[in-house]
Amino acid sequence: MKKSVVIFFLLLPLSWAFAQNLKPYVIGFETTEPVAVIQQKVTTLLDQNGMKVIGQYQPANDKNRAVIVFTSSELENSIKKIGGLTGFAAVLRVGITNENGKTVVSYTNPQYWGCLLQSRF
């Protein structure tokens, strides 16, 4: 994981020009399970894979929506090395929504946000 985070940030200067073709969020999967069940499963999987869940909330207090906010020590360390105004890049989010009977799980696209970061600074 550490190598992939470092490689990601090393490739940012090369990939910022492609940001227009990227989307800020990626759909991970769809299921028919309820939002609360998927929220628990995703949280458990993040924990089991070395990620630190640092927050969860329901936008608009809607039981059909959930957001999980997470980071990792590798990501935090990489951001510290870059410094400046890059702190927002230290966390990623998973969105869970119920849409037309399907529960959709999406997540922030690190490549998109990295390109955005690169183009701003």
Read off the CATH number of the domain in which 62 is found. 3.30.310.70
Does residue 16 fall inside a structural domain?
no
Question: Considering the entire predicted model, what is its pTM?
Answer: 0.76
Q: Is 86 domain-assigned?
A: yes
Question: Does residue 114 sit within a domain?
Answer: no
Mean pLDDT over all residues of the chain?
82
Mean pLDDT of 55-62: 96
Q: What is the pLDDT of residues 66-113, one digit of tens each?
A: 999 999 998 888 888 877 767 777 889 999 999 999 999 999 888 777
What is the crossing angle of helices 73-82 and 2-15, to 10°?
40
E-strand ranges in 9-51 read 25-31
Placement of tokens 């490689």 in the chain: 7
**Any domain includes 115:** no
